[in-house]
Amino acid sequence: MRLRFRLHAASAIVAMPLLAVCAAPAAAQNAGDWTMPSKDYAATRFSELAQITPANASRLHPVWTFSTGTLGGHEGQPLVVRNTMYVVTPYPNVLYAFDLTKDGYPLKWKYRPPVDQNSLGIACCDAVNRGAVYGDGMIIYNLLDGHTVAVDAATGQERWKTKIADIAQGETTPMAPLVVKNRVIVGASGGEFGILGWVKGLDLTTGKVAWTATNIGPDSLMLAKPGTFKPFYDKSPNLGVSSWPGDTWKHGGAPVWGWMSYDPDLDLVYYGSGNPGPYNADQRLGDNKWTTSVLARRPEDGSLVWAYQFTPHDGWDFDADAEMVLVDLTIKGKARKALVHFDKNGFEYTMDRATGELLLAEPYVHVNWASRIDLATGRPVLDSAKTTGASKGNVKDICPTLEGGKSPASPVAYSPRTGLFYASTNSMCMDYAAVLTAHLKGTPYMGINSPYHAGSDKNLGAFIAWDATTGKRKWAIEEPFPVWSGSLATRGNVVFYGTLDGWFKAADASTGAVLWKFKVGSGVVGNPITFSGADGKQYVAIYAGIGGDWLLLSGDVKSDDPADVRDPADFARDLARHTSQGGLVWIFALQ
């Protein structure tokens, strides 16, 4: 068996240059495939597939399921490329390739990289992985311990492996890379470990680091070049240093753990940066640029073109790592190349993605830390009673919580058919007691106690439809628990999402009527996808497997460690009645 495998491997290596020549260009994808984390460069998570409609969605039924053998939070989503489905598990980051042309979808291969188990204790919030990306005949993804790997999509052979991050510095790498032209764009988590946040551009063919750009620090490190960097609001040079006391920027956070998008016409990559560290804002007076920001860069050399900070001097852990969805919208009668972002801080921002000008910002959940966003300055109008820091003591009842009005881990979808965005939201508030903390390598850099409680809505969460041209909710499906899955929108006018208590649901994109639901075995924190099978039928796939922040928050869903038994969270005591940990891949189709 082993000998045969090795022979196959050898012949694959010999054939590799031939395969590379024959490979179709990355742009020529089957519309029924799902080749990148957010479906397309615009990050819409919208599929043109239309066989499943509100009229027939009640006939959805499971056709296949697979245990991943891991219990970490199953965030992210599978890929489907040319009748093969690719699944990356949470740590230890096994990559499975399933043959969708054969009965029972047997494995074509699996790839099991070595991953440093110490990364489990350096990752702030469970051993998650947010998925892989396809590029140039390779499946490319990050291992939790700070490596990016590229694996031959046909054979499973490792093409290259690059160390991009250092867990000794508090860096881990659960985010999903994006491939743009000859670059693989990656970033690191560690906003809870005092990292100096960055993104890197790797060479697609070799994996070598072509450029590194920090999110904070001097313009030279940030690749903010004179004449190229043109922010709409804050134009002073070196704000990445001058908006911090002393050298606190060196441990200032700004992790990159969310989703990236790309506009080919403007040639700009967009991503969000995370929270400043530590959580005790007194230790870093100033705006703390460019934490909690959107940054727009050139993929080729990483040059920063513009940046905008959603939450200056963040004292609430409002990471801006949520997706930047790139759509053309008519705002106040004018056609705009827009960027739409649902921030953790509770506001939805509609921006001009060419210039970084703010066009609209409206709360999509109950918000009380700021009354509004001033469109002239781009800055939030704060409620001084809700600003935090060790000197402020225990600040009560801040809405939303540091989990976000929507988590960046739960990306929205946009349907050009309805013109609406679909978002998983949370209705919770928090107390925030910051304390003095010291940076000690290899340990968290936080200084916070922040218990949550239910918000003013009667439910803890909702799945909503939202008009980003007006900043208004169109409909909402209320849920008993916070909603933590990503969204999927389809040409068939059906939207999909999952719940923490383990339901996978289909709803009418226009009305919000729930059309179908199925209990998938564990809470859903992953993102649904849809694809065309080898038989031409439309399929929908989703991970089950509660975790991520919910491993920390609802501790009594833990199931694999007899030496770790926890009480339920006060704000969601009933959750473990409906789910425990467990990793499953599900595929559904019409019966």
Task: Note whether 124 binds other proteins by CB under 8 A.
Answer: yes
In the complex with other proteins, which residue's Cβ is closer, 124 or 326? 124
Distance of CA 346 to the CA centre of its chain: 16
Active-site residue flag, 275: yes
Cβ-based neighbour number of residue 138 at 10 Å: 26
Classified as helix, coil or strand, 256 is: coil
Site string for other proteins, 147-186 (x = CB under 8 A): --------------------xx------------------
Is cis: bond before 550, omega within 30 of 0?
no
The distance of closest approach from Cβ of residue 560 to other proteins in the complex, given in angstroms and rounded to an integer, is: 11
Asked if 517 and 526 count as a contact pair (C-beta separation under 8 A), the reply is no
Closest CA to 275 of 256, 262, 261, 298: 256
Task: Note whether 122 binds other proteins by CB under 8 A.
Answer: yes
Contacts of 18 (CB under 8 A, 6+ apart): none
- Out of 75, 126, 287, 362, name the contact with other proteins by CB under 8 A: 126
In the complex with other proteins, which residue's Cβ is closer, 168 or 513? 168
- Out of 112, 372, 472, 577, name the contact with other proteins by CB under 8 A: 577
Stretch touching other proteins by CB under 8 A, among 26-34, 343-351, 479-487, 567-575: 567-575
In the complex with other proteins, which residue's Cβ is closer, 182 or 443? 443
In the complex with other proteins, which residue's Cβ is closer, 356 or 547? 547
Buried b (16+ CB within 10 A) or exposed e, 46-57: bbebebbbbeeb
In the complex with other proteins, which residue's Cβ is closer, 44 or 407? 407
The distance of closest approach from Cβ of residue 362 to other proteins in the complex, given in angstroms and rounded to an integer, is: 33
The distance of closest approach from Cβ of residue 533 to other proteins in the complex, given in angstroms and rounded to an integer, is: 38
Strand partners, 200: 186, 212
The distance of closest approach from Cβ of residue 118 to other proteins in the complex, given in angstroms and rounded to an integer, is: 5
Where in 423-452 is the site for other proteins (CB under 8 A)?
Answer: 435-438, 440-446, 449
The distance of closest approach from Cβ of residue 394 to other proteins in the complex, given in angstroms and rounded to an integer, is: 12
Please work out, in degrees rounded to the nearest 5, the angle formed at the alpha carbon of residue 204 by the alpha carbons of 199 and 208: 65
Where in 508-527 is the site for other proteins (CB under 8 A)?
Answer: none
The distance of closest approach from Cβ of residue 67 to other proteins in the complex, given in angstroms and rounded to an integer, is: 22
Order the strands of the 107-111 sheet from edge to edge: 79-81, 84-88, 95-99, 107-111
- Out of 113, 218, 419, 555, name the contact with other proteins by CB under 8 A: 555
The distance of closest approach from Cβ of residue 244 to other proteins in the complex, given in angstroms and rounded to an integer, is: 21
Active-site position among 126, 234, 287, 317: 317
Pairing between β-strand 538-544 and β-strand 178-180 as defined by DSSP bridges? unpaired
In the complex with other proteins, which residue's Cβ is closer, 121 or 245? 121
Residues 87, 64: Cα–Cα separation, whole Å? 14
Report, in angstroms and rounded to the nearest whole number, the Rg of the chain calculated over CA atoms: 22
The distance of closest approach from Cβ of residue 570 to other proteins in the complex, given in angstroms and rounded to an integer, is: 11
Active-site residue flag, 403: no
DSSP 409-450: TS--EEETTTTEEEEEEE-EEEEEEE------TTS----EE-
Active-site position among 275, 280, 288, 426: 275
C-alpha to C-alpha distances, 440 to 166, 446, 477, nearest whole angstrom: 15, 11, 44
Stretch touching other proteins by CB under 8 A, among 283-291, 348-356, 374-382, 572-580: 572-580
Task: Note whether 574 binds other proteins by CB under 8 A.
Answer: yes
Residues that contact other proteins, how many (by CB under 8 A): 41
In the complex with other proteins, which residue's Cβ is closer, 165 or 222? 165
- Out of 182, 568, 584, 590, name the contact with other proteins by CB under 8 A: 568
Class of residue 566 by CB neighbours under 10 A (exposed 0-12, middle 13-18, buried 19+): middle
C-alpha to C-alpha distances, 477 to 47, 347, 491, 501, nearest whole angstrom: 22, 19, 20, 15
Task: Note whether 374 binds other proteins by CB under 8 A.
Answer: no
In the complex with other proteins, which residue's Cβ is closer, 402 or 540? 402
C-alpha to C-alpha distances, 200 to 163, 175, 389, 580, nearest whole angstrom: 11, 13, 32, 36
Active-site position among 145, 152, 192, 549: 192
Longest Cα–Cα distance of the chain, Å, equals 69
Task: Note whether 121 binds other proteins by CB under 8 A.
Answer: yes
The distance of closest approach from Cβ of residue 44 to other proteins in the complex, given in angstroms and rounded to an integer, is: 32
Task: Note whether 564 binds other proteins by CB under 8 A.
Answer: yes
Stretch touching other proteins by CB under 8 A, among 228-236, 378-386, 423-431, 552-560: 552-560
Active-site residue flag, 426: no
Residues 82, 290: Cα–Cα separation, whole Å? 40
Number of helical (H) and strand (E) elements in the chain, helices listed first: 5, 39
Residues with a catalytic annotation lie at 192, 275, 317
Catalog residues that contact other proteins under the rule CB under 8 A: 117-126, 167-168, 192, 435-438, 440-446, 449, 551-552, 555-556, 558, 561-568, 574, 576-577
